[in-house]
Amino acid sequence: MPVNLDSILPGSGKDGTMKKVSIPTIHEKNRIIENVIGAMLSRNRFLVLGHKNPDEDCIASMVAFSLLLGKLYKPVAICLGERVHEHYQYMLNICRYHSIVLFEACGSVDGDFDTLVVCDTPKPSMVACHGQLGALFENPAVRKIEIDHHLGADSQYIGDEEYCLVTEATSSSELICHIALKMRNRRDLRERYLIDEIFSRNFTLSILTGIIGDTNMGQFLQSRREKRFYHIFSTMLNSLLTEETVKETNFKNTDEVFQELHRLSTREERCFRYFMDRKNFSASIGFVALGKRDTEPLFSEGDEETVVNVARAAANVLAEESGKLSMVVYYDSPELSDYIQFRVRRSQQYKKYDLRDLLELFDIENGGGHEGAIGFRIHRTQVADYRLFIRNLIEGIEKALPV
């Protein structure tokens, strides 16, 4: 049954008016971004929402924010509210292999969420809200974060005060890009959560989808500020792709960047299926252990970033499938290094073991992480028999886990 959020949310800004206004200073904007990042780190279960009949920027901003949460190993779900147009199926595919739960009907939302994130939605009445969602919005213990670029008379705040990143921008996706840039500058955050690159390919694709879609490749922009930021972000995304993916290529325009990102995302999906087709399970661990020959096809078709992103995604999925732990192992390309890479991840439901203890247990120096996820690497000369090494490692982890 639909819920009228207008009767639940106060919707007023600091000046007591209903309409959304741009954040007046850079200092205040940065403070709100830090508040949002703080909530991303401290809260536990996130539900991301958009508006009815979601467009490119709405879907893209929901996916982009969810991908950031995934980098922090946070359980996240998206409530789509409507059947998504087939043009955006690649965005949903990204969600599926990054362990982002999709509710295509908001009335079917099920979960103990402590945080709601509303993206690209001008006012409460436009949120696709049914059943349990009304109770979540009413619950003061549930944090409400809002990210939106719609301002003016026909708008109304949805999120909690100090957690509304609502201001002038080309798109809501651009605002999420600002959050990502702040996270990128947090070395402590990246080291703790083993984040190789905040601007991974699929995150970049999501941001670019939103910026391009909401501005019609920049044609809808009017103010000097919007045009300037569109140029800044499209140039930055172009540079990221050129430097990290195809170093010999320069793209002439944003459309070429978008098409290349989309193509590479499809390659990533094939790589993910390659990992998952080789999954196995022990009593407590879902694992994929690719030998030297098994790994070679991945690097012949893709690049380092593709393999790293997909290994992380596979570890996320396998952890939840096993109910306890996952482990993903693969050889680096000889052109990159002589190491074997290991990622171990803990299911969101399993809290009985701190994975960092495994590093000490196996006397591993070249590794790190946090209680729920670790990564380490071992020089291939230290592994005489790969199959035996993996078997002994799994048996050792099984013995270490509490009954």
At 350-386, the pLDDT tens digits run: 888 999 999 999 999 888 888 888 999 999 999 999 9
Residue 195 token pair: 């984040």
Q: Which pLDDT belongs to residue 226?
A: 60
Q: Which helix (H) or strand (E) is 133 found in, with range?
A: helix 132-138
Q: Which pLDDT belongs to residue 178?
A: 93
Which DSSP symbol is given to 20?
B
Q: Which pLDDT belongs to residue 205?
A: 80
Q: What is the C-alpha to C-alpha distance for residues 340 and 391, in angstroms, rounded to an integer? A: 15
Assess if CATH 3.10.310.30 describes domain 278-400. yes
62: helix, coil or strand?
Answer: helix
Query: Model's pTM, two decimal places?
Result: 0.72
CB 116 within 8 Å of CB 49: yes
Alpha helices for 156-200 (secondary structure H): 172-184, 187-192
By CB atoms closer than 10 A (0-12, 13-18, 19+), residue 402 is exposed
Q: Which pLDDT belongs to residue 323?
A: 94
Q: Which pLDDT belongs to residue 1?
A: 46
Q: Which pLDDT belongs to residue 256?
A: 63
Residue 217 token pair: 């490749």
- Give the count of beta carbons closer than 10 Å to the beta carbon of residue 118: 28
By CB atoms closer than 10 A (0-12, 13-18, 19+), residue 57 is buried
Domain with CATH 3.10.310.30 in the chain: 278-400
Residue 146 token pair: 């809002």
Pairing of strands 325-331, 339-346: antiparallel
Alpha helices for 196-253 (secondary structure H): 201-215, 224-244
Q: What is the C-alpha to C-alpha distance for residues 29 and 265, in angstroms, rounded to an integer? A: 32
What CATH number is given for 5-197 in this structure?
A: 3.90.1640.10
Q: Which helix (H) or strand (E) is 339 found in, with range?
A: strand 339-346
Q: Which pLDDT belongs to residue 13?
A: 46
Q: Which pLDDT belongs to residue 87?
A: 64
Domain with CATH 3.90.1640.10 in the chain: 5-197
- Given a cut of 50, the residues of the chain with pLDDT beneath it are 1, 12-17, 217-218, 220, 247-249, 251
By CB atoms closer than 10 A (0-12, 13-18, 19+), residue 352 is exposed
By CB atoms closer than 10 A (0-12, 13-18, 19+), residue 83 is exposed
